Structure formats: structure tokens, C-alpha cells
Amino acid sequence: MTGLHAKTLTELKAGLDGGEFSSVELTQSLLDRIAAHDDQLNALITVTGDEALAAAERADDARAAGAGGVLNGLPIIHKDIFCTRGIKTTCGSRMLDNFISPYDATIVERLAAAGAVVLGKANMDEFAMGSSNETSYFGPVRNPWDRERSPGGSSGGSAAAVAARFSPAATATDTGGSIRQPAALTGTLGIKPTYGRVSRYGMIAFASSLDQAGVITRSAEDAARLLGVMAGFDERDSTCLDVPVPDYVAELGQSIKGLKVGVVRQHFDAGLDADCGARVKEAIAVIESLGATAVEVDMPNIDYSVPTYYVVAPAECSSNLSRFDGVRFGHRAGNVEDLFDLYCRSRGEGFGDEVKRRIMTGTYVLSAGYYDAYYLKAQQVRHLIADDFKRAFEKVDVIAGPTAPTPAFRLGDKVDDPITMYLNDIYTIGANLGGFPALSVPCGFVNDLPVGLHLVGHHFAESTLLRCAHAYEQATDWLAACPEGFA
Ligand code: GLN
């Protein structure tokens, strides 16, 4: 079958339901496409061809028997941070290059139970630390819009795979922007739900008070379908909240008339590329033309979000990554002299430079004598930032602004300058610090490179965000744009 890759998840569902093609045909056509094109992008670490075809066959059988879940036979790619039973889960690191999980992450389990077919595992920055996919042990991912440029990170493999039409959807994770920034840089839609909305059981931890699982797709409707399956209470994750899951797809159609959209003054200052700023303002004008009202809001503490994040996230990562000691699983150095040597060499060899930098920063800010000055202070500032959002949400339903300060940058450009790299997440980190849901939807181009509109909502307002993105998508056609060579 040809042309199936061009369809969104919702269109593919209609095709499968209507008997136009089978899941085996669909799966085979996407596997062929990955085989033909991924050497240009390096979006996937593992392709699970045999397992995918077997799952597709089971889906076709279920359909023939009048059974099957809401995603029966539909393709997905998982970020390689989610544990998959019997299939390698590397987290983009040499440390886990040989790791085969004995269990599935909850979201992997739920998507499989709904009938989704896993095509493979997506490349990512090592342990999700990065904004360009260049920290991956498996090499950088290339942006389908310009192969000399980064697709963003850390979910760069997921975003590139969706932009290149390898799969209509991919799972992803977001600690400071890793779903939304790559979505913006690749012209895809990425949503990070409310902290606690989606289970993180089986998702390898980076910074536990910030990490959240979500999806990258080519439409708000597709994201709504997947989120409906992924979200909801899981007793295996103590941070997962027991809040009913709305029917996100059914709520998409509601009008956005009367919606109040906050525009943060601080988001349009000198750090933002002027052309990106222009695209974002045009997008906000379109949303206004659909019946929403824009209101200026002030967030006096938002400028502290990057420094706050770069204390909290490394602190938590230094604690989470202490489990990788060469003893129980993961990389183990050979010919060691004693236990201490085993720890040092296994970690020294297993982790890359950025991960080591974070572990060192994190250990420092948590150490006696510095804890109050750094970690405690950062946690206090974090509350001030969250309060800025809460005050804004007393007046507005969503906050709209840029997702990233520039379009996709060149591979190699920022790799030796961590601070410039960290500034990529200046607009996205606030949502993680406060646990708010947020998404990025494409809103045009600058120099033929995609730009993203960022929407943030109050806790559990995913439906409002998706509805707003859906209405905007209906009024524009940015999501239909396809990178050259991938049509
Ligand atoms: N770029 C940010 C970092 O490197 C965010 C990463 C993420 O969201 N996983 O920490």
C-alpha cells in the first residue's frame, strides 16, 4: 500500500475501520519507509519489525472477530525511555545499551491493550538531558526539515519520526520542555499533560518532581485519542493522581468563543527571535478571530525559571542516577580492582559528558552547607513561579506564547556552550516547575523552518488546550506541511 504514511492517526483509524487496508499492510508500509529513510535521520535506536508485524496480525484478527481496542492496529513509536518487556531500553545511554526490561511501562501496557502496534524505540538525549539530541550515545538525530539542523531534544527522535511520517504518533517525555521544544522545531504537535495525569511507572526517571509523559502527533485530535488511553490513575506510581479522565476527543469540537488567552509580557523580550515572535503574534490573532480574547498578563518571576530548573533538575537527577552503579543492571566495567573501582569505572564509562555535568552540579547543590543556599532557595523560587501562573489563571484560561526562542539551530552550534543550550527551554520550563499542562502546535515558518505556538493551561485543563489547538488547526494548515523528501 502506498500513501498510508501521509495519513494522521485519526485518518488511519477510519481506513482500518472501513476495511480499506489491514494493519499488517499499514505496518509493513511504515517499516519499509523507516528502512528506506532512517539512515538520513537516525530517529530510531531499535526497530521492532517482527514484533510489530505479529501485533498487527493480532489486531487484524481481533478486528475480524469484531473485537479490538480503540487504537486497534494503529502504529506508534516509543521514546527509548519507556521500558518495553523483552526489547532493549537504552535511554540514549551507553549505561543501558544492554538493558532489556523484564516489564512494560504502564503507558506501553495501556497503549498495547488498546491495540497499538509498536514500530520501534526512538532516539533521545542521554537520560533525557539535552535540547538538541546531541547527547545521545547513539548519535544525533537530524531534523527532517533540514538535515544539518537539530530536531530539538530530548524527544528529538520521537519528533523527527513523526515529522518524517515514519509513524503518525510517538510517545515522549518532558522535564523542562522535551516534548514541546522538539515538536516546535519539527512542525509537529506535542503535549505535556499535568504532573500526575499520566503514570510514570516504567519511565526511566530524570527529575522526579518535573518529569511527565506525553505524545507527539500531527493533530490535536490524534493527541486527544492517545492521551485518553494513556491518562488515569495507576497504583504503581505514587505521584499519579486519581482524577477522572475526560473524553478528550468528544470535547474537541466545543467552540473556543469567550476563551481568555493570556499573553505574557516577559515572553516577547529581547531573547526571542523577531520573526518567531511575529509568527506567534499572528497565531494569537487567529485564535482571537475565532472568538477568544487576548489579555496581557505579567509574570514577574518567570525570568528565574531557567536558573531554578538547573538547580532542581540536576539535584534530582544526581539522586535518581545513583542506581546505575554497575552492580545490578546496565554497563559494568571489566577488570576492576575493587568495589569502589567498579562504581567509578562503570559510571565513568557508562555516562556521557552532559549527564556527568548534571550529576556533579546536583551533588554539589545538595551537599551539606550548600543545600539551603541552592536547593532550598530554588524550591522557594519555584513556588513563586508557580504562583505567577496561578494568578494568571484567575484571569485567563490559557497562556499563549512562543515554544522556543528560535527555529531549529545547526547541529554542533550550541553543543560546547551549555548555558546557550539551556536557554532553549526558557518558555517551557515554567509549566514543569508548576506541574501545568502545556502543548506546542505549529504556527508557521521562518526561513522554511517550523515555529511552534505554546499553550499552557491550569492543572487538568488538557481538554481546553487541545480544543484551542484543534480550533487553530482548523483555521490554518501548518500541520499538513511536510518536509521535502518525506511527502
Ligand atoms: N532541555 C532540558 C534539559 O536538558 C529539558 C529536558 C527534558 O525536558 N527532558 O534538562
Please indicate, yes or no, if residue 245 is contained in any of the structural domains.
Answer: yes
Please indicate, yes or no, if residue 229 is contained in any of the structural domains.
Answer: yes
| pLDDT of res. 296 | 96
Q: How many domains does the chain have?
A: 1
Q: How far is the CA of 400 from the centre of ligand 1 (A)?
A: 21
Please indicate, yes or no, if residue 399 is contained in any of the structural domains.
Answer: no
Q: Tell me if residue 79 is catalytic.
A: yes
Angle at which helix 220-230 crosses helix 462-475, to 10 degrees, equals 160
Please indicate, yes or no, if residue 390 is contained in any of the structural domains.
Answer: no
| CA–CA dist 25, 471 (Å, integer) | 32
Atom of ligand 1 nearest to the CA of 175: 8
Please indicate, yes or no, if residue 324 is contained in any of the structural domains.
Answer: no
E strand or H helix at 46, and its extent? strand 44-47
| CA–CA dist 21, 468 (Å, integer) | 32
DSSP β-bridge partners for residue 213: 173
| pLDDT of res. 380 | 97
From first to last of its 487 residues, what are the pLDDT tens digits of the chain?
A: 679 999 999 999 999 999 999 999 999 999 999 999 999 999 999 999 999 999 999 999 999 999 999 999 999 999 999 999 999 999 999 999 999 999 999 999 999 999 999 999 999 999 999 999 999 999 999 999 999 999 999 999 999 999 999 999 999 999 999 999 999 999 999 999 999 999 999 999 999 999 999 999 999 999 999 999 999 999 999 999 999 999 999 999 999 999 999 999 989 988 899 999 999 999 999 999 999 999 999 999 999 999 999 999 999 999 999 999 999 999 999 999 999 999 999 999 999 999 999 999 999 999 989 999 999 999 999 999 999 999 999 999 999 999 999 999 999 999 889 888 999 999 999 999 999 999 999 999 999 999 999 999 999 999 999 999 999 999 998 988 999 999 9
| pLDDT of res. 32 | 98
Q: Tell me if residue 155 is catalytic.
A: no
- The parent domain of residue 214 ranges over 4-257+461-480
Pocket lining: 450 vs ligand 1, CB cutoff 6 Å: no
Among 154, 199, 346, 463, the one annotated catalytic: 154
Q: Tell me if residue 23 is catalytic.
A: no
| CA–CA dist 136, 132 (Å, integer) | 9
Please indicate, yes or no, if residue 228 is contained in any of the structural domains.
Answer: yes
Query: What are 92-108's pLDDT values in tens digits?
Result: 999 999 999 999 999 99
Q: Sheet harboring 212-217: ordered strands across?
A: 44-47, 117-122, 75-79, 169-174, 212-217, 189-192, 438-446, 449-457, 398-402, 260-264, 293-297
**Residue 19, domain CATH:** 3.90.1300.10
Pocket lining: 170 vs ligand 1, CB cutoff 6 Å: no
| pLDDT of res. 1 | 66
Q: How far is the CA of 174 from the centre of ligand 1 (A)?
A: 7
Q: How far is the CA of 472 from the centre of ligand 1 (A)?
A: 27
Q: How far is the CA of 449 from the centre of ligand 1 (A)?
A: 22
Q: What are phi and psi of 100, to 5 degrees?
A: -115, 115
Query: What are 61-80's pLDDT values in tens digits?
Result: 999 999 999 999 999 999 99
What are the cell numbers at 442?
505549529
- DSSP secondary structure string for all residues of 401-446: EESSSSSPPBTTSSTT-HHHHHGGGTTTHHHHHHT--EEEEEEEEE
Atom of ligand 1 nearest to the CA of 174: 8
Atom of ligand 1 nearest to the CA of 432: 8
Please indicate, yes or no, if residue 251 is contained in any of the structural domains.
Answer: yes
Among 22, 178, 199, 219, the one annotated catalytic: 178
Please indicate, yes or no, if residue 194 is contained in any of the structural domains.
Answer: yes
